[in-house]
Structure 1
Amino acid sequence: MARKKALAAVTAAFAAVTLAAGCGQAEQAGGSQDTAAKTKNLTVGVSTLGLSFPFPAAISKGIKAEAARLGVKIVEVDAQGKAEKQSSDVQDLAGQRPDGVLLLPVDSGVATGMVDQLKNAGIPTVAVASQVGDPKTRKLDDVYPGLAALVTQDEYAAGRKAGELAVKAVPKGGPIAVVEGAAGFAEVELRFRDFLAPAKAAGITYDVVTRQPGDWVPDKAQAACQNMLAAHPDVKLFYAESDDMGVGCAKAVKAAGSKAAVIGIGGSKLGTDAVKSGELYGTVCFKPEDLGKRAMQVLHEQLTGAKKYDAQFVTYDTPSITKDNVGDCQPQW
């Protein structure tokens, strides 16, 4: 009799832990399932910022690969780069009651409302590749409350590594220009915040004479760099906040007959090829497929109770790349 009571107590405790770490559907149903059963029946909603962009498309590829390995069903919606559409997409996802959601925010500020909505619906959420909240007032590793985790590259570190490349490329300092991403993206602020820190530590002075958006794409970055060079022909360095923009900017530099160095971020095939050819001085190697897989793993661990996450920052190493070590960065996008 005592053994039966002990067994019943253990079983009840296990069910309680599983329920607490589990999905909104199970909570709404008022029941609990063991980890094995939940793993077989998990459905995860994925709200991606835009599958037409190579980087989030590679993240999506990683998510789907890991979901297939884990036996998780994916329901994916594409915001097409529009914050308003993503808000609507997330509302629709919440109505479908998935076990969890992976969110790749279009706009870091607007995303706070989405996370609040999902939290109120009892749906565990992991933000992927981009911060939720205002990057000017919230530190990257100060993860927005209500998220299980933020799984992303360390944008501060990436900016510093790009800054270290700048010091090598233009060691005497001088006027520089910045090609920013699209407005609303946290990365615009995050990738610039510590960019100048290596120069300052080395006693080198860079004068940021102009900053213009390239909206993450080569053609707009090329036009932006043409405009910046026309106004500031003495620019010594362009810091492009993505490889795609860096390659576009390099075309403008070449067309203008400028000797300005160009540095990107991302480690894309386009970017690494440009490093090999000398169009880009260097880049910082991101791994979006690995990032997508890791995000799926984190949410799966949360949903099955294998590990508990509460506003946790999860990242990986992003090395700087030049022609000397370009082979160390195998492009994933």
Structure 2
Amino acid sequence: MIAGAALALAVAAPTWAADPVKIGFITKFPVPFFATMENAAKDYAAANPGIELVFGQGASATDIEGQIAQIESMVTQGVQGIALTPVDPTVAQALDKAVAAGVKVVLMDNDIPGWNGRTALATTDNYAAGKIAGEYLKSVLKPGDTMGILEGVPGVPSLDDRVNGMIEGLGGLDVKIVGRGATGCTEEQGINLAEDILTANPDLKSIYAACGPPAAGAAQAIRNANLAAKPILVGFDFCCGEAEALEAGIEDATVAQFPAKMASLGVEALVKAIRGEPVESLIDSGAALVTKSNMADFQ
């Protein structure tokens, strides 16, 4: 009789894995890359009933206070987990408070160095992806050629890795870096910095941009410059006007991430963690080289 009652109770009671979860999903700023991530998170939730998503986003690539406010708002709204693309390591203090309140945290896109509060990191291996760009540049440049580098936001590990990985990918090729600076991952700053570098170096051989918007900005600067010989342009992200620049032959290559995969893997890891299931601490969503000849495979 006791065994029968226990069996009936076990059948009637919902399993923990079936319990609904409420998740905050916070991205850095409004560009297509993060819109793709949001859409993928929505698709994942639609395909897996019981997941409620609350979305938040910062205003720019340097909107630290805005992201902190989003984190605090998610905790107030009672989320059980937060999936976050951290805009800066200094948001860790707000995340510490969330974790102390029992909220699980999965980081996406980039890590927070030295912060141990995350359950998992779903990301592109940005250093390895940067090497893909550098290896391509090595194949088309020769010793003594010049290069300008359009950085993203210095101090953000994933963006720094894209530059450092590219340099390693050059494999010791003697390339002279004649200009280098931050762009905030914006097209406007990309245009301005590329114009400055091209003005000072009209025979520039190459430009590497660590984010999609400044790559598109560099393409515009190259158009405007009316140079005798176009520099080789390599970007990162395959977004924000890069497809048009590749099609026009102004951008030569870029490195594509897989933001939809990154988002779905991040949400999946967070749901598993909330439901008490094991989760890998590092989840690599991959990267690939895109050129005009294969870009249709990535659209």
Tell me the TM-score normalised to structure 2 length. 0.88
- Residues 89, 233 of structure 1: alpha-carbon distance in 2 compared, 3 angstrom cutoff: same
Describe the superposition over 1:173-212 as per-residue Cα deviations: whole angstroms up to 9, x where unpaired.
4221110113453333111112122322xx5211222212
Bigger proportion of residues as strand: 2
3-state DSSP class of the match of 2:241? Answer: helix
8 Å contact kept, 1:177–1:238: yes
- Alignment equivalent of 1:270, drawn from 241, 245, 250: 241
Q: Which residue of 1 aligns with 2:25?
A: 46
- Alignment equivalent of 1:298, drawn from 269, 277, 298: 269
Q: Which residue of 2 aligns with 1:114?
A: 94
Q: Which residue of 1 aligns with 2:69?
A: 88
Q: Which residue of 2 aligns with 1:248?
A: 217
Structure 1 residue 130: deviation in Å?
1.7
Describe the superposition over 1:12-44 as per-residue Cα deviations: whole angstroms up to 9, x where unpaired.
xxxxxxxxxxxxxxxxxxxx9732541xx2111
The letter of the residue matching 2:167 is: L
Distance 1:33 1:210 in 2: 61
Distance 1:92 1:33 in 2: 30
- Alignment equivalent of 1:280, drawn from 243, 251, 254: 251
The letter of the residue matching 1:87 is: I
Q: Which residue of 1 aligns with 2:40?
A: 62
Q: 1:156-235 residue pairs with structure 2 within 5 A?
A: 156-200=127-171, 203-235=172-204
Distance 1:76 1:250 in 2: 33
8 Å contact kept, 1:47–1:89: yes
Distance 1:68 1:185 in 2: 32
Structure 1 residue 162: deviation in Å?
0.6
Distance 1:172 1:259 in 2: 18
8 Å contact kept, 2:246–2:292: yes
Distance 1:146 1:57 in 2: 26
Q: Which stretches in structure 1 are left out of the alignment for 5+ residues?
A: 12-31, 139-143
Structure 1 residue 120: deviation in Å?
0.9
Describe the superposition over 1:212-248 as per-residue Cα deviations: whole angstroms up to 9, x where unpaired.
2222222221111111122233321100012221121
Tell me the TM-score normalised to structure 1 length. 0.80
Q: Which residue of 2 aligns with 1:25?
A: none
Describe the superposition over 1:135-188 as per-residue Cα deviations: whole angstroms up to 9, x where unpaired.
xxx6xxxxx412110111110111000101111232344221110113453333
Matched, 1:124 2:95: no
Distance 1:232 1:301 in 2: 52
Distance 1:250 1:172 in 2: 24
8 Å contact kept, 1:164–1:198: yes
- Residues 328, 269 of structure 1: alpha-carbon distance in 2 compared, 3 angstrom cutoff: farther
Distance 1:249 1:34 in 2: 54
8 Å contact kept, 2:213–2:240: no
Distance 1:318 1:165 in 2: 14
The letter of the residue matching 2:110 is: S
Distance 1:127 1:33 in 2: 29
3-state DSSP class of the match of 1:195? Answer: helix
Distance 2:241 2:58 in 1: 24
The letter of the residue matching 1:265 is: F
Q: Which residue of 2 aligns with 1:14?
A: none
8 Å contact kept, 2:258–2:286: no
Structure 1 residue 269: deviation in Å?
6.4
Distance 1:204 1:193 in 2: 14
Distance 1:205 1:94 in 2: 51
8 Å contact kept, 2:32–2:240: no
Structure 1 residue 318: deviation in Å?
0.9
Describe the superposition over 1:111-147 as per-residue Cα deviations: whole angstroms up to 9, x where unpaired.
32233222111111101112213xxxx6xxxxx4121
The letter of the residue matching 2:263 is: G
Distance 1:112 1:89 in 2: 13
The letter of the residue matching 2:187 is: P
Distance 2:238 2:230 in 1: 23
The letter of the residue matching 1:244 is: P
Structure 1 residue 281: deviation in Å?
0.8
Matched, 1:324 2:287: no
Matched, 1:315 2:291: no
Distance 1:61 1:2 in 2: 49
Q: Which stretches in structure 2 are left out of the alignment for 5+ residues?
A: none
Q: Which residue of 2 aligns with 1:146?
A: 117
